[in-house]
Amino acid sequence: MSDLFDPTQPLTATGNLRRREAVNRLASGGARAAALLAVAVLGVVVYSVAQRGAGSLSLSFLIKPPPLFGGPGGGIGPEIVGTIILVALATAIAMPLGVLVALYVTEFAGRRSGRVIRAALDLMQGFPSVIVGLLIFGLLVAGTGQSGYAGSIALAIIMLPLIARSSQEVILLVPGSLREAADALGVSRWRTIRGVVLPAALGGILTGTILAVGRAAGETAPLIFCDSIFNASAFSTNLFAANHAIPNIPFEIFTLSEQADPSSFSRAWGAALVLLGLILVANFAARALLAHSRRRHAG
């Protein structure tokens, strides 16, 4: 027989259970509302971009260059190609570096140096992109002129901490028992990482990289410094030519939105919609790639 309650009473709420249930409802309701709000904001952004941008979408918009001296007509063909090239190079720089940094922090670093690097990465993540742009402007642009690689390097600096931090989180999730199993087989550390740790963490690394790609593809500030003065009559897609900036979507959106011509506004929305679409396509492509490699490796 309990002193706290009478076990023979009907099984309805007693004591402070009603109050506890009310708190419970409040908390779960709040969480649900916040989640809905986040999805709603995403919906509003996508919808408004799609609504205003869809009008200017056409095949010629996707492949033609912008008009030489402003005004209506033309497309953003070179900008699309340019953005893909810029982000591809930035990813090619930032992803291997980011994964290596993550591996260093999780697998090799001592407790102290690991903490220092994690803190540094967090700081880097908070860097205003304007400052990254200025830095690269000072290092690579001033004197030699703008170039595609300068823009890519600026984007890579923005992507690096994002990729390193998210990779580090998923590498930490790889069960220690798998590392032990590999260790106990007399396999060296790097082989273990390549054969066991990285395959298990691949999904998360890829997700983090896609997030970073999305972020970099829309970065405007560093590109204004490093990659914004084009020769409109002869577009360059050569990443490594000094003094040859590569056209890109974010800067084009910025330029178009500065112009007085209302048709420029609708083209700016169109370009924004294309950018969103590109990021979405990259996302799906990476996921398909991941599913494919899962079937092959874990199969």
Partner 1 sequence: MTPDSSPAGGGQFGEPAVRRRVRIQTGPPPGSRPKTNGAGAGPAALEPVFDVRNVSLSYGSTPAVERITLKIYRNMVTAIIGPSGCGKTTFLRCLNRMNDSIPGFGIDGELLYHGHDVYGSRVNRVEVRRRIGMVFQKPNPFAKSIYDNVAWAPRNLGLKSGLDGRVERALRDTALWDEVKDRLKASALGLSGGQQQRLCIARAIAIEPDVLLLDEPASALDPIATAAIEELMHVLKRRYTIVIVTHNMQQAARVADRTAFFSLDTAGGKRVGTLIEYDDTERIFTNPRDPRTRDYVTGRFG
Nearer to partner 1 by Cβ, of 141 and 196: the residue is 196
Quick one: DSSP state of residue 147? B
Residue whose structure tokens are 């009478």: 6
Q: Is the dihedral of CA 18, 19, 20, 21 positive or negative?
A: positive
Shortest distance in whole angstroms from residue 188 CB to partner 1: 5
Shortest distance in whole angstroms from residue 295 CB to partner 1: 10
Nearer to partner 1 by Cβ, of 181 and 291: the residue is 181
Nearer to partner 1 by Cβ, of 74 and 199: the residue is 199
Tokens read off for 66:
């912008």
Nearer to partner 1 by Cβ, of 177 and 233: the residue is 177
Nearer to partner 1 by Cβ, of 32 and 191: the residue is 191
Quick one: DSSP state of residue 197? I
Shortest distance in whole angstroms from residue 182 CB to partner 1: 8
Do the Cβ atoms of 148 and 227 come closer than 8 Å? yes
Shortest distance in whole angstroms from residue 170 CB to partner 1: 14
Q: Which stretch binds partner 1 (CB under 8 A): 163-171, 205-213, 258-266, 291-299?
A: 291-299
Report how far residue 256's alpha carbon sits from residue 269's, in angstroms, rounded to the nearest whole number: 9
Residue 292 makes contact with partner 1 by CB under 8 A: no
Nearer to partner 1 by Cβ, of 187 and 232: the residue is 187
Binding-site member from 1, 4, 260, 298 for partner 1 (CB under 8 A):
298
Report how far residue 266's alpha carbon sits from residue 268's, in angstroms, rounded to the nearest whole number: 5
Amino acid at 260: A
Residue 4 makes contact with partner 1 by CB under 8 A: no
Nearer to partner 1 by Cβ, of 9 and 177: the residue is 177
* Cα–Cα distance list, 6 to 3, 12, 16, 114 (Å): 8, 12, 15, 56
The contact pattern for partner 1, residues 102-121, with x = CB under 8 A and - = no contact, is: ---------x----------
Do the Cβ atoms of 240 and 155 come closer than 8 Å? no
User: Interaction with partner 1 in 173-202: which residues (CB under 8 A)?
Assistant: 175, 177-178, 180-189, 191, 195-196, 199-200
> Per residue, what are the HEC states of 91-128?
HHHHHHHHHHHHHHHHHHCCHHHHHHHHHHHHHHHCCC
Tokens read off for 68:
């030489």
Residue 290 makes contact with partner 1 by CB under 8 A: no
Number of residues forming the site for partner 1 (CB under 8 A): 22
Report how far residue 168's alpha carbon sits from residue 114's, in angstroms, rounded to the nearest whole number: 11
